[in-house]
Amino acid sequence: MDFNIISFEVKKKDIQILLIYTGGTIGMVKDYKTGALKAFNFDKLLDNVPELQLIDCVIDNISFRKPIDSSNMNTTYWLELAAIIEDNYSKYNGFVVLHGSDTMSYTSSALSFMLENLAKPIIFTGSQLPIGDLRTDAKENLITAIQIATLQENNEPVLKEVCLYFEYKLYRANRSTKINTDHFSAFSSFNYPTLAESGVYLKVNKKSLLRKNNNMPLVVQKAMDKNITILKLFPGLSEQVLNCVLEIPNLKALILETFGAGNAPIEKWMVLGLKKAINKGIYIVNVTQCSGGGVAMGKYQTSKHLKDLQIINGKDITTESAVAKLMYLLGKNISRKKFKIAFETSIRGEMQ
């Protein structure tokens, strides 16, 4: 990768953090003459955020060649981001990724799967307002994300996973979801506790962290198969719509967003359509539409038919994480017999 890394020596210490800017509101400042937003010059980071001088670390900065709005995020950019981390993994103690909030949970979930044997912190953050705004949340999110990435205990990183920090709370990335477009508290983790909270003190919930004792080298899986889709059930869903979705060319997997604890209509056409798709080799994953809780197939009559079809149980996984996990597992090209077991097994703390 041909990138120009800019170094900011905040304090001379062994801890080194790489700040990666992909795009998004946090990297914007307002031109007060025109009122328009423009890209932030990270070469002037310390001029705009002098508080970073209080953190005991050296901060280097790297940006996408063409920073993007996160609504334009795709698997190609995921691979670019993963490559930056892979190329610089041995040089830094931790990474902070600046990313637009709209698809942050998707990207951070994807990285949690792609980066196998991860033993360092990768903290995603962003903001609802640009870094130069009077009431911006960007400074606090940036400063605390970097501080979290520097946390060490017995010369080892406290965090060894992909996380998302926003508005005083640190989440496991693949448990997070965006819940609000207007509030600074834009994210939540309904099915898993926060990993840390920032207040007067920075409190880490050590019991909730991923425990990793292996010394295996980082492996980056670059094969992410995007031949998947999502179908959200709703009252009035027709047979024609279901069949059209299941007949998408080259479709390999479907995330079925069901009602409540994994329930779906017991219409004959629904059962036959799903069965036909499964027989064609399409994987179907049952994920609840609800923000909290999970799938319990067989608990109600309206999910027994899904259980009988051997549909994959998404348990309490988020839709964002289900997308990333499907792409990751499909990219591994594992056998059909093992696929269901692999998806229903927690591999990065993404489900119970």
| Residue pointed to by tokens 């060319």 | 249
Asked if 281 and 239 touch (Cβ cutoff 8 Å), the reply is: no
* Nearest by Cα to 271 from 308, 312, 228, 230: 308
* Cβ neighbours of 273 (radius 10 Å): 17
Asked if 209 and 121 touch (Cβ cutoff 8 Å), the reply is: no
- Is residue 296 helix, strand or coil? coil
Angle at 15 between CA 14 and CA 19, to 5 degrees: 140
CA dist list (Å): 147 to 64, 88, 113, 260: 23, 19, 24, 39
Given 25, 125, 318, 319, which residue is catalytic?
25
Please say whether the dihedral angle defined by the alpha carbons of residues 319, 324, 328 and 331, taken in this order, is positive or negative.
Answer: positive
Q: Strand 283-288 to strand 312-313: parallel, antiparallel, or no bridges (unpaired)?
A: parallel
Asked if 186 and 202 touch (Cβ cutoff 8 Å), the reply is: no
At a CB cut-off of 8 Å and minimum separation 6, what does 308 contact?
Answer: none
Backbone angles phi, psi at 74, to 5 degrees: -150, 180
List the structure tokens of 21.
Answer: 């800017």
Distance CA 128, CA 46 (A): 21
Is 25 annotated as catalytic? yes
List the structure tokens of 176.
Answer: 């997070």
Catalytic residues: 25
